[in-house]
Structure 1
Amino acid sequence: MSDRFNAAAHCLSENARLRPDKAALVMAGADGAATILTFAEADRAVRAIAAGLLALGLEPGARVMVRLGHEADYVLTYFAALAAGLVALPASPQLTPAEAAFLAADSGAAVIVAGADVVLDPEGVAGRIVLRPADIAALKAGPPLTAYADTAAEDPAILVYTSGTTSRPKGVRHAHRSVRGRAPMHAHWLGLTETDVMLHAGTLNWTYTLGVGVTDPWACGATAVLYDGPRDPALWPALIARHGATIFAAVPSLYRQILKYADMAAHDLSRLRHGVTAGEALPAELLAAWESATGKPLYEALGMSEISTYVSSGPTIPVRPGSPGRPQPGRRVAILPTEGPPEPLPSGEVGLLAVHRSEPGLMLDYWNRPDEDAAVTRGAWFTGGDLARFDADGYLWFHGRNDDLMNALGYRVSPSEVEAVLARHPDVAEVGVAELAVRADLNVIAAFVVAKPGTAPEPASLMAFCGQHLAAYKCPREIRFLDALPRTPNGKVQRRRLGQG
């Protein structure tokens, strides 16, 4: 018989039995108010929504696209899809109607669960079931499933979209086993046990938040705390103190803002053991500044949509400033030559960072993209495009990308996607998009535009145009005008030269 495993049951079933009255999810507000769900309440709500989804006549593996706001129902609906043997597709309410319509069409989503104020493209929802918050409330009030779906560990559970090298996002399909595959990070990056309180600063449409902020605490029987108030960086120390957070998770740029705007000394951070960070590289000077201000360590991890985090520092892996750490014990990670046979290189040599395909946290595949699967496959290895080397002690050091993907606030963004939008502007003749360093520790998305003859577009108007067609995190933060784009002899835009200013 195949390995049976349901990711939602793994996170909720035993917790509901062993610690039913313990706080599972705390949605904290800025004014001190908080909404608390116990494990028993979360378990029942998830099974009730799951029963309601199945009552719609959905087949196993049907995709459920979630576009709710930053609220408990996002979490419950996401886990309900898994509990029912369906596939959860977490998406952002920031997406434009056209972007969301593409995801719905590409994924073949059967259901779209959308917030009350989320505008849906009529063509994008045609033939699909649309559920709004009132519908989810009704499902929660209904009878729950008596048991979680009897899924195989290899059955698809999650479909997340990430930027590829093309102008359209691609779906990354994960199995139920991917949740079990997160276990090495609990001890070796997060230092997470059932006694912990995890406060995550991210929003729920991001896999960093759904994974580290909720899935990991629940898998360990710990409490997850999310904040749903105004995004003021000065508030985070107060939230850490108020909720007794033992672990705080954020991106490096937020740690920097907290140090700049918050009064750290005014709050009791004694319960906080450490902070964790991912999504962006952690500058050595920011690490030093945080440890100086708080006396607490900061543990970095490297991850991606295809495998979550697999290299980190942490309680068992000492911090080495400038490096994201070492592969977590049990992970098979190697550096491969960029060309030729996929034989791991010795320490000190730069090549493609690769993860062995036996890794349980690795994705199943790219959804309906066999060409993309082939592009990242090197024998028995998955390669994500990062160039790196290992030092003699096994620490990883980055040497850039082997492709043009950009990192915007922790999200991977394809320059082709941004270029395709700007190219539609009536005043734009040509455009190239690349990451641009505006400070030693800060890169932003920049668009380099060749204007059509006789036009003089304003940067603000081009940025506004992008805002109409792209989620906010994909939009350029800087527009520069050029007489011509740098190109190779074959006519290809040299994005790396653009990014050098």
Structure 2
Amino acid sequence: MSDRHPPARFNAARYCLGAHAAARPDKTALVMVGGNGETTRLSYGEADRAVRGIAAGLLELGLAPGDRVMIRMGNEADYVLVYFGALAAGLVALPSSPQLTPAEAAFLMENSGARAVALAGDCRIEPADRGDRLVLGPEDIARLKEHPPLADYADTAADDPATLVYTSGTTSRPKGVLHAHRTIWGRRPMLAHWLGLSETDVMLHAGTMNWTYTLGVGITDPWAVGATSVLYNGPRDPAVWPRLIAEHGATIFAAVPSLYRQILKYGDLRGHDLGRLRHGCTAGEALPTDLLEAWETATGKPLYEALGMSEVSTYISSGPTTPVRPGSPGRPQPGRQVAILPREGAPEPLPPGETGLLAVHRSEPGLMLGYWNRPDEEAQVFRGDWFCGGDLARLDEAGYLWFEGRADDLMNAMGYRVSPNEVEGVLAEHPSVAEVGVAELRVRADVSVVCGFVVLQPGTAPDAEALLEWCRERLAAYKCPREIRFLDTLPRTPNGKVQRKRLPEAAAA
């Protein structure tokens, strides 16, 4: 076995908790900071005990290895414990966003065939959607944590399914991305080459737990090395982050670029001691060069960018071993097999400087097992031995990646990939809408929002707010358009297909 590949028998939860709970049971693993000042702390020993209790309890309830457990909860410690508890039992965890509407949640439950749903906070499911699934509320989860624990983590294979993450695809419905236990092993190159993470670190992540960026960088990676993870569950005030960095002695801070910009605008960076902070990390959106310069000028701390996607671990980055080049997310991390392929023809890697499809070799341990029950879409993203996610890019002579756009129309909204088909499907159901196209609309030099471009039914008055409210009732907040533009006609190809890339241009005409 090379260090690049995990052992044949490998359990991701054991990898993150088992050895640390034995070697340092009293060390703080997780700090949950509430908006009211209340703080919850879990040691590695406590987390290990609760996770194995949840695992044993889920199995006793009749769940079998491979069954899906959907997590529909807010930003709380139990989210993490149920997630790792499912993995510890050999079940498949399905993290979901509390922003999902009941209808969106019902689709995930039905499509995944979830056998159980962990439910807390303001999240709910409609009684008609429950079926014969187990629904575990806060009291049930509390009992599971106290259940006599499994003697050991499940003896899973590295390729056994562990996590099912839903992401926007090229159809009107989200698609499930199925990952194996080995995916967590596949994150190892980023620990040194992007995060610079070790057991002495305190990682403060600004995201919510339902996001793979937070579950990965905010919790999984710190736990994999025995570090401390700090998360925040209070009002989303950008001014709070400098205070949290200082109060908790964060050595690494992770967020999306737009939040760094808000911190610079609204946060009191000089009023708090950031002496322990070594650097910031960012992903989910491209990092504008002016923001990079502004952050480094204001804090004296470097900012390291990375590129990843739902189908594969973060695999390109700058970091302690890779100097930052403004405008580029960095280089492939050591051990990664990354190439640029021609858009058509044989999948032979192109030389430096040529633009093509960004690809990752299928031997990458962080690569997904596949799309859940979507073999046709799965076939479309593999070309020979390479996985192509749809990004157009080039690699320069020094190995740095430079983006040249996307080969498809997927949008980036607050770091989430959003399918225009899904948003269009909702808007098209409104009685005043005759035709609709959805695309990103640039509202500032470095900010784009999801925009609906609408042709109204004859005799209908334009009412942007009514259409936005219609979407808010039917879509998660991050999927909702922020703008509506009214057009007389939509730009189309000779074959009648809407030209989404021309929609902003048509609205400006």
TM-score range, shorter chain: over 0.9
Counterpart in 1 of 2:137?
132
In the alignment, structure 1 residue 6 sits paired with structure 2 residue 11:
yes
Counterpart contact for 1:116–1:132, Cα < 8 Å: no
Q: Which residue of 2 aligns with 1:155?
A: 160
**Are 1:347 and 2:352 an aligned pair?**
yes
Residue 496 of structure 2 corresponds to 491
Quick one: which of 4, 18, 23 aligns to 1:18?
23
Q: How does 1:290-329 map to 2 (within 5 A)?
A: 290-329=295-334
CA–CA separation in structure 1 for the residues paired with 2:13 and 2:504: 43
Specify the alignment match of 1:184 in structure 2: 189
Deviation at 1:145, TM superposition (A): 0.7
Q: Deviations over 1:173-193 (max 9, x none)?
A: 000000000000000000000
Within a 5 Å distance, the mapping from 1:446-485 to structure 2 comes to 446-485=451-490
Q: Distance in 2 between matches of 1:224 and 1:171?
A: 27
Aligned partners of 1:69 and 1:133: how far apart in 2?
Answer: 11
Q: Deviations over 1:134-159 (max 9, x none)?
A: 11001111211111000000000000
The CA distance in 2 between the partners of 1:189 and 1:334, in whole Å, is 19
Could you say which residue in structure 2 is the equivalent of 1:283? 288
Aligned equivalents of 2:465, 2:131: Cα separation in 1: 35
CA contact (8 A) 1:101 1:123 kept: no
Show the counterpart of 1:98: 103
Distance 2:359 2:374 in 1: 20
Match of 2:343 among 333, 338, 347: 338
Matches within 5 A, 1:214-233: 214-233=219-238
Contact 1:102 1:124 in 2 (8 A): no
Q: 1:31: how far off?
A: 4.8
Instruction: Output one character per residue of 1:55-77: Cα deviation in whole Å (capped at 9) or x when no partner.
Output: 11111100000011100000000
Q: SS at 2:366's partner residue? A: coil
> 1:162 touches 1:412 (CA, 8 Å); kept in 2?
yes
| Match 2:369 to one of 361, 364, 368 | 364
Do 2:86 and 2:92's aligned partners in 1 also have CA atoms closer than 8 Å?
yes
5+ long unaligned stretches in structure 1: none
1:250 alignment partner in structure 2:
255
Quick one: distance in 1 between partners of 2:129 and 2:292?
44
Query: How much has 1:30 moved relative to structure 2?
Result: 3.6
Partner of 2:367: helix, strand, or coil?
Answer: coil
Instruction: Write the deviation string for residues 260-287 of structure 1: whole angstroms up to 9, x where unpaired.
Output: 0011100000000000000000000000
Distance, in Å, in 1 between the alignment partners of 2:35 and 2:123 is 23
Deviations 1:388-444 (A, max 9, x none): 000111000000000000000000000000000000000000000000111110010
Q: Could you tell me which of 167, 173, 180 is aligned with 1:175?
A: 180
- Provide the residue aligned with 1:39 in structure 2: 44
Counterpart residue number, 2:242: 237
Q: CA RMSD in A?
A: 1.0
Tell me the CA shift for residue 214 of structure 1.
0.1
1:319 partner letter: V
Say whether the 8 Å CA contact 1:65–1:89 is kept in structure 2.
yes
> Deviation per CA, 1:196-226, whole angstroms, max 9, x where unpaired?
0000000000000000000000000000000
| Mean Cα deviation higher: 376-385 or 32-41 | 32-41
TM-score w.r.t. length of structure 2: 0.97
From 84, 90, 96, the equivalent of 1:85 is 90
Structure 1: 4+ residue segments shifted above 2 A: 29-33, 121-124
Shift in Å, 1:32: 4.1
Which of 406, 409, 415 is the matching residue for 2:414? 409
Take 1:35 and 1:6, find their aligned partners in 2: how far apart are those partners? 27
Give the Cα–Cα distance (whole angstroms) in 2 for the partners of residues 221 and 357 of structure 1: 29
CA distance in 2, matches of 1:20, 1:432: 54
- Per the alignment, in what secondary structure is the counterpart of residue 192 of structure 1? coil
Q: Secondary structure, in 3 states, of the residue corresponding to 1:324?
A: coil
Deviation at 1:92, TM superposition (A): 0.8
Identical counterparts, % of pairs: 74
- Describe how 1:54-65 pairs up with structure 2 within 5 A: 54-65=59-70
Q: Which runs of 5+ in 2 are unaligned?
A: 2-6
- Kept in 1, the 8 Å contact 2:462–2:486? The answer is no
How far did residue 125 of structure 1 move? 1.4
Q: Is the 8 A contact 1:200 1:226 kept in 2?
A: yes
Q: Provide the C-alpha distance between the structure 2 equivalents of 1:439 and 1:192, rounded to a whole number of angstroms.
A: 34
Whole-angstrom distance in 2 between the partners of 1:371 and 1:300: 33
